[in-house]
Structure 1
Amino acid sequence: MYTYTKKQGRIEVICGCMFSGKSEELINRLRKAKIAKQKIQVFNSSLDKRYACNAIASHNKTKLESEHVNTASEILKLVKPSTTVVAVDEGNFFDKTLVDVCETLAQKGKRVIVSGVDLDYTGKPFEAMALLMAKAEFVTKNLAVCTKCGSPASRTQRIAKAKSRILVGAQGVYEARCRKCFKPGK
């Protein structure tokens, strides 16, 4: 399913709620690409400084070096011609421009892998992630474990008091919840 050919680009999306292993899955795919001697470049939003300023990181502290960008359009300027795999972590932090960037890279024959939260704390889709899922050749939806009942969790419950749509955080700010235990916008 994830073999690479130099003849055709593609888009892969890894989505799900917080604490579902999205970044870990992304890092695993990139490690395999490195073993296959593919040239990779990794990007993350400059908003995400939770674990490292020059790396993507999973909640269990697995890290991989990355470049931070303020906008998705910066990625196009930074991707080197020799790069075969372009990865973007926290795709939900970018606007819809990310979709055009990924499409452009795939058209150039790049394997593009984007991970990110698909639904915000109110249960509404992040536009860039929803559009990418529709355009991607491969979509992986990860589930977490509901912190209330132990069922499979597909939602992110914000437990910190804040009104902005994007609030960078981890444990103590968000919890994984199943459909039944999720309280939109609370």
Structure 2
Amino acid sequence: MYHHYRPGYVEVITGCMFAGKTEELIRRIKVFEYAKKNVAVFKPTIDNRYSENQVTSHSGSSTSSINVKDSQGIKDYLDQNKNIDVVAIDEIQFFDEDIVLLIDELAAKGLRIMCAGLDTNFRGEPFGVMPTLVTTAEFVTKLTAVCTVCGAPATRTQRLVNGQPANYNDPTILVGASESYEARCRHCHIIENKPTYPTRKD
């Protein structure tokens, strides 16, 4: 009837922008803090939209965090702080590929890892390390937003440049908020000059 589980696992919270990913990550962080677990919260230095030392959701919820340049920054901190039970990482899609190896090692050592980030970029294509994390994590939560055009469940992030849909060839990474992005459903998501089958070559 009762099962004993070995500690150490990976949770991923993903979806498009404005789906509540960071809000959910903060909620889970507070649950562990209430249980008196030592939680280390990290975010990449590239994400400075609201604060440099806090993870902040679009709705204003926040929790203290540690800014790191890359996965090595997380490892260095944890090497110096051996009492951490839970590691939370926001905007995981911006980290280097080595973050996957680090997360795997930390989970194997018994730490609980919680990651939040976009599953696709503005083109609607897999974003950074997220595809690998989704396939290797024990638990995956995919959240949806509401399409700003038609009100349907939104799974895409629409980038707008001067109020118009972005071009497929624009840079992938551009950190912004409501003035740069909208949540869209599949049918309302528009990317100018996006390749179509069979012209696209791998």
Q: Same fold (TM over 0.5)?
A: yes
* Cα distance per residue 1:93-130 (max 9 Å; x no partner): 11221111111110110000000000001111013011
Over alpha carbons, which structure has the higher Rg?
2
Alignment match, 1:72: 71
Alignment match, 1:12: 11
Aligned-residue CA RMSD in angstroms?
1.5
* Cα distance per residue 1:138-163 (max 9 Å; x no partner): 00000000000000000000012582
Could you state the TM-score of these two structures normalised by the residue count of structure 1?
A: 0.94
Alignment match, 1:182: 189
Q: Which runs of 5+ in 2 are unaligned?
A: 194-202
Distance 1:185 1:89 in 2: 29
Structure 1 residue corresponding to 2:180, chosen from 173, 178, 186: 173
Distance 2:185 2:102 in 1: 32
Letter in 2 for 1:55: Q
1:69–1:75 contact (8 Å) kept in structure 2: yes
Deviation at 1:183, TM superposition (A): 1.4
2:91–2:117 contact (8 Å) kept in structure 1: yes
Distance 1:60 1:153 in 2: 18
1:148 aligns with 2:155: no
Moved over 4 A (4+): none
Of all paired residues, the percent bearing the same amino acid is 43
- Pairs within 5 Å for 1:82-101: 82-101=83-102
Mean Cα displacement is larger for which, 92-101 or 145-154?
92-101
Q: Which runs of 5+ in 1 are unaligned?
A: none
Distance 2:84 2:143 in 1: 27
Distance 2:144 2:115 in 1: 16
Instruction: Tell me: CA distance 1:68–1:185, structure 2 relative to 1, closer, same or farther (3 Å).
Output: farther
